[in-house]
């Protein structure tokens, strides 16, 4: 683990201290809103060795947090090896998963070095869940088992990702707060993001909910309000039934504050630095290079970061 290293700053004074590491682009779901992180499915993925190299280089520039994502990261048969290798360089490793296979893997993931977990669950009733995930087989009970297993294994905090969709689940936020209270999870309400310049698309206009009103309402109900230290996102502690539920709100759209606090560089499954989720023209090939060359590319990629919303 590296001590006393200084971050690389982009030209907007934003340090990069974390990587969002996509480990594959395949998924056992076909979520109606999925932006696929700008990758196609016919990729040759980075090997565990190549992933370790990127993490090692990023860690040498002070990166101390890795978020593993996909596709569905738990579909990678070598995911445990990948986490063990990342752990040699970085302590704070988290993952976003649809949770379908988590009940089988939670303990192994924890032992390998995973610290925290986000589990996507965008509906509490089976019909909506199937509709949103684009599936015919209902894995929702497995996901709930996964949430329980994550706690038992000590992956903390457990966050439940909930993309708010107009006319589908936007009236279910209170139910989700009940669920998160019962399951000791943080509810993460996520604004539907337009995939790359698709803000005028039929789907986006139909399903997008501006979360500002919901955010204001939560703020009024909260007894405590903090900014998430990683992303500067609001996190509310809300008295709910017989307890307190924590709700985090992710509002990326048209939000210059969101972009100004972005400290993340993205790595695609096929081995590219990507400077922004919403940009699709800003990639740096990083596969199969040695550490020195990668260090140069890392600096170039960071210097190329431009806030999407300004
Ligand atoms: N397969 C995993 C899962 O379902 O969590 C990880 C990948 S998924 C791309 C990561 C997160 O991005 C999920 O919580 C998902 O709901 C969210 N997401 C995907 N597309 C989105 C969009 N257009 N707007 C907002 N959130 C989105």
Cα 143-148-153 angle, rounded to 5 deg? 115
The model's pLDDT over 99-118, given as tens digits with 9 standing for 90+, comes to 999 999 999 999 999 999 99
Per-residue pLDDT at 70 exceeds 80: yes
- The mean pLDDT value of the chain amounts to 93
- pLDDT at position 281: 82
Summarised one tens digit per residue, pLDDT across range 185-227 is 999 999 998 866 778 888 899 999 999 999 999 999 999 988 8
For residue 1, the model assigns a pLDDT of: 60
Q: What is the pLDDT of residues 130-184, one digit of tens each?
A: 999 998 899 999 999 999 999 999 999 999 999 999 999 999 999 999 999 999 9
**Reduced to 3 DSSP states, what percent helix, strand and coil does the chain have, rounded to the nearest 5?**
35, 20, 45
- What local confidence, expressed as pLDDT, does residue 196 receive? 64
The alpha carbon dihedral of 141, 114, 299, 307 has a sign of: positive
Q: What is the pLDDT of residues 72-91, one digit of tens each?
A: 999 999 999 999 999 999 99
Residue 165 contacts residue 136 (beta carbons within 8 Å) = no
CA 72 to ligand 1: nearest atom: 1
Query: Is 147 within 8 Å of 160 (Cβ atoms)?
Result: yes
pLDDT band at 3 (very low <50, low <70, confident <90, very high): low
- pLDDT, residue 38, reads 47
- Please enumerate, by residue number, every residue annotated as part of a binding site for S-adenosyl-L-methionine: 71, 120, 198
- Rounded CA-CA distance 193/199 in Å is 8
For the chain, the domains span: 15-303
pLDDT at 268 over 50: yes
* Residue of 22, 29, 35, 135 to mutate, ligand 1, most atoms within 8 A of C-beta: 35
- Find the mean pLDDT for residues 38-67: 89
> Which of 54-58's residues contact partners 24+ apart within 8 Å by CB, and which partners?
54/19, 54/21, 54/267, 54/271, 54/286, 54/294, 55/19, 55/21, 55/85, 55/86, 55/89, 55/90, 56/88, 56/89, 56/291, 57/291, 57/294, 57/295, 57/298, 58/16, 58/19, 58/90, 58/265, 58/298
Residue 94 Cα to ligand 1 middle (Å) = 14
The structure tokens listed for 50 are 């190549």
The pLDDT > 90 percentage for the chain reads 79
Average confidence (pLDDT) over 267-278: 93
- Quickly state the pLDDT bin for 2 (edges 50, 70, 90): low
Residue 21 to residue 196: CA distance in whole angstroms: 19
Looking at 3.40.640.10, 3.20.20.70, 3.30.70.360, 3.40.50.300, the CATH number of the domain 15-303 comes to: 3.20.20.70
Report, as an integer, the average pLDDT of 249-259. Answer: 85
| Ligand 1: lining residues by beta carbon, under 6 Å | 27, 33-35, 69-70, 72, 96-98, 120, 161, 163, 190, 192-193, 195
């Amino acid at each position: 683990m590296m001590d006393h290293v200084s971050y690389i700053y982009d030209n907007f004074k934003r340090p990069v201290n974390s990587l969002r590491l996509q480990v594959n682009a395949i998924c056992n779901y076909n979520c109606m809103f999925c932006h696929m992180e700008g990758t196609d499915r016919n990729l040759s993925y980075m090997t565990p060795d190549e992933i370790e190299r990127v993490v090692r280089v990023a860690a040498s520039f002070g990166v101390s947090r890795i978020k593993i994502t996909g596709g569905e990261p738990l579909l990678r048969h070598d995911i445990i090896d990948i986490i063990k290798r990342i752990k040699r360089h970085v302590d704070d490793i988290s993952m976003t998963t649809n949770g379908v296979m988590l009940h089988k893997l939670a303990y192994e993931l924890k032992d390998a070095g995973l610290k925290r977990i986000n589990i996507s669950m965008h509906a509490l009733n089976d019909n909506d869940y199937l509709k949103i995930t684009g599936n015919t087989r209902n894995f929702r009970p497995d996901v709930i088992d996964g949430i329980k297993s994550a706690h038992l294994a000590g992956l903390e905090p457990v966050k439940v990702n909930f993309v708010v969709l107009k006319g589908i689940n936007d009236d279910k936020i209170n139910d989700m707060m009940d669920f998160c209270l019962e399951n000791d999870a943080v509810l993460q309400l996520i604004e539907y993001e337009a995939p790359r310049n698709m803000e005028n698309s039929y789907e986006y206009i139909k399903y997008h909910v501006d979360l500002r009103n919901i955010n204001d309402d939560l703020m009024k109900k909260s007894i405590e309000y903090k900014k998430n230290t990683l992303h500067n996102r609001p996190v509310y502690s809300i008295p709910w039934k017989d307890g307190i539920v924590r709700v985090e709100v992710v509002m990326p759209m048209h939000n210059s504050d969101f972009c100004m606090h972005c400290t993340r560089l993205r790595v695609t499954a096929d081995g590219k630095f990507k400077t922004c989720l919403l940009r699709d023209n800003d990639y740096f090939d990083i596969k199969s290079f040695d550490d020195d060359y990668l260090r140069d590319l890392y600096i170039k990629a960071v210097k190329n970061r431009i806030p999407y919303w300004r």
